[in-house]
Structure 1
Amino acid sequence: MDVRQAITDHTKKMNQHLEQFVELDALREQAIEKAIASCKAGQPFTVDEINRYTQLINEHAKQGISPLRKFVSAQMVEEFASR
């Protein structure tokens, strides 16, 4: 394999990794928005879905160059919703 092909393959792999991160991060953000909306409406909410995506993102980050995300607590959602 020549150097150009190796670089191309590596770049494709990193791009695929980042595309998957973007998808997971968007799903996490949707879950956060849903929890915030429920909290603001005075309805019960959970952070389970948020943290499920957080776990997937953090596991995914171990295999490449994507960033980690912090786990979210109910208190964090309540504090944000009260702003």
Structure 2
Amino acid sequence: MNVHEAISKHSNAQHLHLVRFSELDAQREQAIDEAVDLCKRGLPFTVDTINAITAHIIAHAKEGISPLRSYVTKDMVHDYVNKG
């Protein structure tokens, strides 16, 4: 494999890694929006889905260049809703 092919392969792998991160991050944001909506309406909610996706993001980040995301607590959701 020549240098050009190696660079192209590496660049493509990074691109695919970031595409997957974007997909996971969008799923996480949707789960956060759902928890916030339930909290605003005074309904019970969990952060389990958010944190399951966060765990996938953290594992995915270990394989490439994508950023990390923090786990979310119910208190964090309550604080966000109460500030808004």
TM bucket, shorter chain: over 0.9
One-letter amino acid matched to 1:49: T
One-letter amino acid matched to 2:11: T
Show the counterpart of 1:14.
Answer: 14
How big is each residue's C-alpha offset from its partner over 1:12-46, in whole Å with a ceiling of 9 and x where there is no partner?
00000000000000000000000000000000000
Name the CA distance, whole Å, in 1 between partners of 2:75 and 2:42.
Answer: 14
Name the CA distance, whole Å, in 2 between partners of 1:48 and 1:27.
Answer: 13
One-letter amino acid matched to 2:57: I
Show the counterpart of 1:49.
Answer: 49
One-letter amino acid matched to 1:11: S
What runs of 5+ residues in structure 1 fail to find an aligned partner? none
Hey, which bits of structure 1, 4+ residues long, moved more than 6 A? Answer: none
Count residues with an aligned counterpart.
83
Q: Where does 1:1-83 land on structure 2 (aligned, <5 Å)?
A: 1-83=1-83
Question: So what's the TM-score if we normalise by structure 2?
Answer: 0.98
Name the CA distance, whole Å, in 1 between partners of 2:19 and 2:61.
Answer: 12
Name the CA distance, whole Å, in 2 between partners of 1:26 and 1:19.
Answer: 11
